[in-house]
Amino acid sequence: MLKLDLIQTVAFAGVVLFAGYGLRRWIKPLDRLNIPAPVIGGLLVSLATLVFHHYQITPVQFDTTLRDPLMIAFFTTIGFAASLSLLKVGGPQVLLFFLMATIMVIFQNILGIILALPFRLHPLLGVICGSVTQTGGPATALAFGPVFEQAGVSAATTAAVAAAIFGIISGGLIGGPVGTFLIEKYKLKKARIKGLEVPEIDAEQVVEELMSRKAVAAAEADDRSSFVLLKSVVIILVAMWVGSWVSKWFASLGITLPAYIGAMFVAAIIRNFDDLTGWLCLDQRVIDELGHVALNLFLVIALMTLKLWELAGLFLPMLVILFAQVVMVALAAMMVFRLMGRDYEAAVMSAGFCGFALGTTANAMANMKAIVERYGRAPRAFLVVPMVGAFFIDFTNALIITIFLNLFK
């Protein structure tokens, strides 16, 4: 058996990650369905491990010491994106869409629990097949998996990854048809104006302008990008450090939390403090890029060590729960359309809602881009959906999951 130490494991994970990128470019359906590259690469290794396990062979042993720190680092960067000033910029529509997404999270968990009980399964498996994996996606699935296993749900991590992949595929398949159906039914087709290019406003532009303005000015004065990068790394590490104390304090109260919650809370406090004072000059773009690196490596390391053989016996109940989740999200998208104004922009938002309520924000963006390429631009939708899907819903989803976890553990 080949034993890989900490550095070798991370290096191997990097190679697997880029193999995932290559396969996604080569196999077009993977790209169209927005299957993340680390998921592709990591699952290939776990599938190979499954084959070896069938023959009772363990070919390699990984050192996963850095898995949890990378996971905490990623969710810490999510905390840094939770800026209250963003909600003000987005206006009432962002608040309304955020509220609907939060309600969806609660209903996903309730539906999952209700359907898990007839199969005599742990109710928390319903939560795993609910917002943990559908709104949360692979990162939240892998972060909460070990916590659910400690709460008594066997094979929670493996089941969570399987449910997350099902959600990503489903969100990519139904989002476009739902948006197209609404546009055609209510005759909302938006005519293009030839020769006129309207710049598309999206959340990334707003975030970079609002949250990085002071940081950019500081960087221009200093003209040292390495200084901004170093400062961002140190601030993330400080938030993780202080956050570990917060998590331990919650644990002393008997509250079960994933390891990253404390750090995410502290990061959100630091972000909003800096918004008010401007003392730290945080550069959200750099923080997001660091979070993306941590996320990719975390996903690959976690997926490489999955025990897929643990899914035996869970296939049918999970399939029933997940199909029900898809139906509920599709129906909820109709409600989103009505509440967001019953216009073309609202139809595009409904398509995006299907994407991130069943998978990832990347799914949401792909769904909306497919529609606007056919019918025309929807700048409001490209501001509202990614702002909620990328910057806010992960925060509230983690809190709601934690509540359900402590109620049913």
Is pLDDT at 99 greater than 80 in this prediction? yes
In the prediction, which pLDDT does 387 show? 86
Phi-psi region of 240 (alpha: psi -120 to 50; beta: other; left: phi over 0): alpha
Strand-pair partners of 68: none
Per-residue model confidence (pLDDT) at position 108: 98
Condensed to tens digits (0 to 9), the pLDDT of residues 257-272 reads 888 889 999 999 999 9
**Gap between the Cα atoms of 17 and 37, Å rounded:** 6
Half-sphere exposure of 105 (CA within 13 A, CB side): 27
Task: Identify which of 351, 356, 354 has the alpha carbon closest to the alpha carbon of residue 370.
Answer: 351
Q: What is the mean pLDDT of the chain?
A: 88
What is the 3 state secondary structure string of the chain? CEECCHHHHHHHHHHHHHHHHHHHHHCHHHHHCCCCHHHHHHHHHHHHHHHHHHCCCCCEECCCCCHHHHHHHHHHHHHHCCCHHHHHHHHHHHHHHHHHHHHHHHHHHHHHHHHHHHHCCCHHHHHHHHHHCCCCHHHHHHHHHHHHHHCCCCCHHHHHHHHHHHHHHHHHHHHHHHHHHHHHHCCCCCCCCCCCCCCCCCHHHHHHHHHCHHHHHHHHHHCCHHHHHHHHHHHHHHHHHHHHHHHHHHHHCCCCCCCCHHHHHHHHHHHHHHHHHCCCCCCHHHHHHHHHHHHHHHHHHHHHCCCHHHHCCCHHHHHHHHHHHHHHHHHHHHHHHHHCCCCHHHHHHHHHHHHHHHCCHHHHHHHHHHHHHHHCCCHHHHHHHHHHHHHCHHHHHHHHHHHHHHHHC
Token duo for residue 261: 């919650």
Q: Is the pLDDT of residue 38 over 50?
A: yes
| Contact between residue 89 and residue 115 where contact means Cβ atoms under 8 Å apart | no
pLDDT at res. 32: 76
Q: Which of 23-27, 98-102, 215-219, 396-400 has the lowest mean pLDDT?
A: 215-219
Distances (CA, A) of 164 to 189, 218, 279, 318, 392: 33, 40, 39, 11, 19
pLDDT band at 113 (very low <50, low <70, confident <90, very high): very high
Q: Which of 108-112, 276-280, 404-408 has the highest mean pLDDT?
A: 108-112
Question: Over the stretch 120-150, which tens digit does the pLDDT of each residue have?
Answer: 999 999 999 999 999 999 999 999 999 999 9
Own/partner long-range contacts of 251-257 (Cβ < 8 Å, ≥24 apart) = 255/402, 255/406, 256/147, 256/150, 256/151, 256/402, 256/405, 256/406, 256/409, 257/147, 257/402
pLDDT digits (tens, 9 = 90+) for 396-407: 999 999 999 999
What pLDDT is attached to residue 122? Answer: 95
What pLDDT is attached to residue 191? 40
Q: How far apart are CA 337 and CA 333, in angstroms?
A: 6
C-beta atoms surrounding 175 within 10 Å:
30
Q: Among 166-170, 312-316, 346-350, which stretch is predicted with the lowest mean pLDDT?
A: 312-316
